[in-house]
Amino acid sequence: MARYTCSFIVSIPSDHLQPLLIELLQDCQLDVQYYTADYIMACEVPGNVSFSKLVAVEVLIDQSTATATETRISIVVKNEELPLQLDNHCRQLFELIKQAIEHSRHWHLIENFAG
């Protein structure tokens, strides 16, 4: 199973972050299937890759440490594919999502922590 994680601190209040993250995931061609105030689950739409390569993304919004100006988020990108190659499908989608978060115009990236 391929699994990639990363955490970020972004300059945005946590109550404004969730709808922007949902939009960001949809822009990455992911179908948001479930969300709460501090959790989002999205999956890749079937049809472009084999079933074992379909990616699931979990986003955790850390409400416990959030301030009026900063929020920590963590992402987990995973699939059933064995990561036999460094540049596998799951890693490619992880990098796409990571770059989308890092370069979003909706917030300023303060820090990121590779997992």
- Quote the strand ranges of the chain, DSSP E: 2-10, 30-36, 39-44, 56-62, 71-79, 109-114
Length of the chain measured in residues: 115
Tens of pLDDT, residues 17-76:
999 999 999 999 999 999 999 999 999 998 888 888 999 999 999 989 888 889 999 999
What is the Cα–Cα distance from 18 to 78, expressed in whole angstroms?
Answer: 20
Checking if the pLDDT of 4 tops 90, the result is: yes
Which pLDDT score is estimated for 115? 59
By CB atoms closer than 10 A (0-12, 13-18, 19+), residue 84 is exposed
Q: List Cβ neighbours of 49 (8 Å cut-off, separation of 6 or more).
A: 89
Domains of the chain (ranges; CATH) run: 2-114 (3.30.310.220)
Count of CB atoms within 10 A of residue 9's CB?
A: 18
**φ/ψ (deg, to 5) at 49:** -135, 165
Q: Give mean pLDDT, residues 70-97.
A: 92
Tens of pLDDT, residues 8-19:
999 998 889 999
| Identity of residue 100 | A
- pTM beyond 0.85: the answer is yes
